[in-house]
Amino acid sequence: SKFGDYGGQFVPEALMPAIEELTDAYERYVIDNEDGFMDEFRRRLADFGGRPLPLQRADQLSARYDTEVYLKREDLLHGGAHKLNNALGQVLLAKYMGKERIIAETGAGQHGTATAMAAAHLDMPCEIYMGETDIARQRPNVFRMRINDAEVNPVTTGRGTLKEAISETMRDWATTVETTHYVIGSIVGPAPFPAMVRDFQSVISEEAREQIQEQTGGLPDAVLACAGGGSNTMGAFHHFVPDDDVDLYAVEAGGSSLSVDEEEGVAPNSASLSTGDEGVLHGARTKLLQDSDGQIMESHSVSAGLDYAGVGPELAHLVDEGRVTPVNVDDDTALEAFHRLSQDEGIIPALETAHAFGYLERVAGPATDDRAAEPRDEHHDELGDTVIVNVSGRGDKDLETVIEETQKRDLDIAPDMSIFNEIGGGI
């Protein structure tokens, strides 16, 4: 249950039996494929989720960067992001375990919608905890959950955001462990969640590794994925980890700055791999954003889905081992990359995803004042000739944010939206 020194099971005693039961179920059904669990999981991922998903050569980006850029298209998964890989796996596992009820928490709403979809598909009652502030910010996702027949329980304590929702879900679970499974949405939390969620998400790299070999005859030089909690990241990396020649870049949200406001307890970024240090959060020892006392900092990113103060323990371990390189790009770079992929490739990415493309631009893009010193060709030493970028999700959910944040910044690459100011109607 550990990844080096990371991981573990730092949870209230009342939950430990559930964690043990889940560990047992994970080993039997997921690892040993008992009762054909994994076969059913894969069949449902295909039929319901739409897998396998393409590994697409990006024509315009490949030309721009003079590098073969391949896109792993998780944005095409049912629901619009990689989230369903995990949600479907866990809800199905809960069914095999004889659980009668699903709970989950959600911040930006992506995990909540994926869980609600999976629960509806598998005919399991489902309740989602969501802070009331997040509910007001993310109404389309709230409506999707309700329309999929999930109960959405507004959490009114504290600031009404993700952290309070996590606490509230833990509280529900602590009361109902015997009948209920808590679907954690990333490779975080107590063991066995980090390994289990990774296993469900690893279908990404399993497919991508086969596909890149079919298409290019070899392995890529690098794999890039954005990293918040890290489930799409480890999903995209897992099957490449043993391939020592494949560089793995976890692209974190640099937010508005990498520096920290200890006074306010705010880190204006979500770069826990790049800047965080070891601690215990939400059931696991990992890297996190904390002040010198050990209080968890408020993180920040223009992308709600990366806005988390911790990261999966396995990623923390792989970073310490030197196997994964943590990098980060700031909000501006991510927004520019959002527009670039939309305009050049006809794929509107999630803002989370845009971070990975922002890093690509920074390393391999045309020279700018910032990059004047680095000649264009050097990136080949860094990224190599063939790069896979994980398109973890689609950006429809981010339209409002992108427009608002783009207008604040006056980015050169952004399309002119002023025409619509003259015509009525809300977004």
Partner 1 sequence: MGLERAFADEPAFVPYLAAGDPDYDASIEYVEALARGGADVIELGLPFSEPIAEGSTIQEAVVRSLDAGMSPDRFFEFVEELDVDVPLVCMTYYNLIYQYGSGQGPEPFVEKAAEVGIEGFVVPDLPAEEAGPLRAACDEYGLDLIFIVAPTTKGDRLASMMDQTSGYVYVQARLGVTGAKDDVDDATEESLARIAEWDVPKAVGFGIKNGDHAERIVSAGADGIIVGSALVDIVAEGHENGDPADEVAARLEQKARELKEGALRGAQNRPQPEGT
User: How many residues make contact with partner 1 (CB under 8 A)?
Assistant: 39
Give 276 or 358: the residue with its C-beta nearer to partner 1. 276
Among partner 1, its own copies, none, what binds residue 14 when CB lies within 5 to 8 Å by partner kind?
partner 1
> What part of residues 328-367 is at the interface with its own copies (CB under 8 A)?
339, 342-348
Rounded to a whole number of angstroms, the minimum distance from the CB of residue 157 to its own copies is 14
Per CB under 8 A, 118 contacts its own copies: yes
- The full 3-state SS of the chain, as one line of letters, equals CEECCEECCCCCHHHHHHHHHHHHHHHHHHHCCHHHHHHHHHHHHHHCCCCCCCEEECHHHHHHHCCEEEEECHHHCCCCECHHHHHHHHHHHHHHCCCCEEEEEECCCHHHHHHHHHHHHCCCCEEEEEEHHHHHHCHHHHHHHHHCCCEEEEECCCCCCHHHHHHHHHHHHHHHCCCEEECCCCCCCCCCHHHHHHHHHCHHHHHHHHHHHHHHCCCCCEEEEEECCCHHHHHHHHHHCCCCCCEEEEEEEEECCCCCECCCCECCCCCHHHHCEEEEECCEEEEECECCCCCECECCCCCHHHCCCCCCHHHHHHHHCCCEEEEEEEHHHHHHHHHHHHHHHCCCECHHHHHHHHHHHHHHCCCCCCCCCCCHHHHHHHCCCEEEEECCEECHHHHHHHHHHHHHHCCCCCCCCHHHHCCCCCC
Per CB under 8 A, 132 contacts its own copies: yes
392 is catalytic: yes
Per CB under 8 A, 420 contacts its own copies: yes
Rounded to a whole number of angstroms, the minimum distance from the CB of residue 152 to partner 1 is 18
Rounded to a whole number of angstroms, the minimum distance from the CB of residue 227 to its own copies is 24
- Rule CB under 8 A: choose which of 36, 140, 294, 415 binds partner 1: 294
Per CB under 8 A, 213 contacts partner 1: no
Contact stretch for its own copies (CB under 8 A) within 51-59, 174-182, 275-283, 328-336: 51-59
Per CB under 8 A, 31 contacts partner 1: no
> What part of residues 4-23 is at the interface with partner 1 (CB under 8 A)?
8-14, 16-18, 20
- Rule CB under 8 A: choose which of 102, 117, 155, 197 binds its own copies: 117
Per CB under 8 A, 181 contacts its own copies: no
Per CB under 8 A, 214 contacts its own copies: no
278 is catalytic: no
Contact stretch for partner 1 (CB under 8 A) within 40-48, 115-123, 199-207, 273-281: 273-281
Q: Indicate which residue of 272, 299, 303, 392 is catalytic.
A: 392
Rounded to a whole number of angstroms, the minimum distance from the CB of residue 425 to partner 1 is 23
105 is catalytic: yes
CB 102 within 8 A of CB 88: no
In whole angstroms, give the CA distance from residue 313 to residue 417.
Answer: 42
Per CB under 8 A, 21 contacts its own copies: no
Per CB under 8 A, 99 contacts its own copies: no
Per CB under 8 A, 159 contacts its own copies: no
Single-letter residue type at 341:
L
Strand partners for 369? none
- Rule CB under 8 A: choose which of 5, 146, 178, 259 binds its own copies: 146
Chain residues in the site for partner 1 (CB under 8 A): 8-14, 16-18, 20, 157-158, 163-164, 166-168, 170-171, 174-178, 265, 277-283, 290, 292-296
Which residues belong to the active site? 83, 105, 392
